[in-house]
Copies of this chain bind each other. A is one copy, B any other.
Amino acid sequence: MTECIMDELRIIEIKKSVFADNDRDANLLREELKQQGVFLLNLMSAPGSGKTTTLIQTINRLKERLRVAVMEADIDSDVDARKMKETTGVESIQLHTGGMCHLDAEMTRQGLAALSLEKTDLVILENVGNLVCPAEFDTGSSANAMILSVPEGDDKPLKYPLMFSVCDLVLINKTDVMPYFDFDLERCKQNILMRNPKATIIPISAKTGEGIDDFAQWLVNEVQNWKK
């Protein structure tokens, strides 16, 4: 792990894992976080679904109730962590995956090591924008969530089955532009529930604020249950 500080923004260059058994390592990390009272949300989506904008809106409504930190994973660039830090003020770091398409538990651990976990209730990992590979690797998260945005289409659960089956929460973002797209919300919900009948589904618009309070409340409930 290499850490460099640019304009006071911390960028972590994470290294490829050497652990053969990621599932075991992920369970171990989850247990460690549970003992520390830290809830880790693994947030996944396709590129451009609005992860960062959604998080900024949500964290600004949450930060009086929970102590939040954010890890922004990207192949390259530091635009997300910079934006997050400037607009929310919460602890934000950028994880560079060095071309890798996903994070596993050990890579997540490298990011967590750079955070002040003793002062944190909720860590949000913004995973690499990709509907395929991140679904295959348990990061050690307390819960998995994903954002599907309206312009991507209501058929995505048919095409990316694993992603939808591993997510506890699906946010359907950009509902404000629904009139301009051929997107059937009910059909979308049915497609999601076909992959995971237990999934919680919240339609949101990071632009207008629709549904953001519901997402924030979901996080508060999850964190409270985790700390019990």
> Chain A: residues with CB nearer than 8 A to chain B?
46-48, 74-77, 79, 99, 101, 128-133, 136, 149, 151-153, 155-156, 158-162, 174, 176-177, 180-181
A contact patch SS: loop
Q: Which residues of B contact A176 (CB under 8 A)?
A: 180
Q: A47-B152, A99-B136, A180-B180 are in contact. List 8 more A-B contacts (CB 8 A).
A: A46-B47, A46-B48, A76-B158, A79-B159, A128-B132, A133-B133, A151-B174, A177-B180
Q: Which residues of B contact A101 (CB under 8 A)?
A: 101, 130, 132-133
Q: Which residues of B contact A76 (CB under 8 A)?
A: 158-161
- Whether the Cβ atoms of B47 and A131 lie closer than 8 Å is yes
State the copy count for this chain: 2
Q: Which residues of B contact A155 (CB under 8 A)?
A: 77, 79
The residue among A46, A79, A181 with the most chain B CB atoms within 10 A of its own CB is A46
Nearest Cβ on chain B to A138's Cβ, whole angstroms: 15
> Known contacts A47-B131, A79-B155, A132-B75: does B162 contact A99 (CB below 8 Å)?
yes
Q: Which residues of B contact A74 (CB under 8 A)?
A: 159
**Contact for A75 among B47, B77, B130, B160, CB less than 8 A:** B160
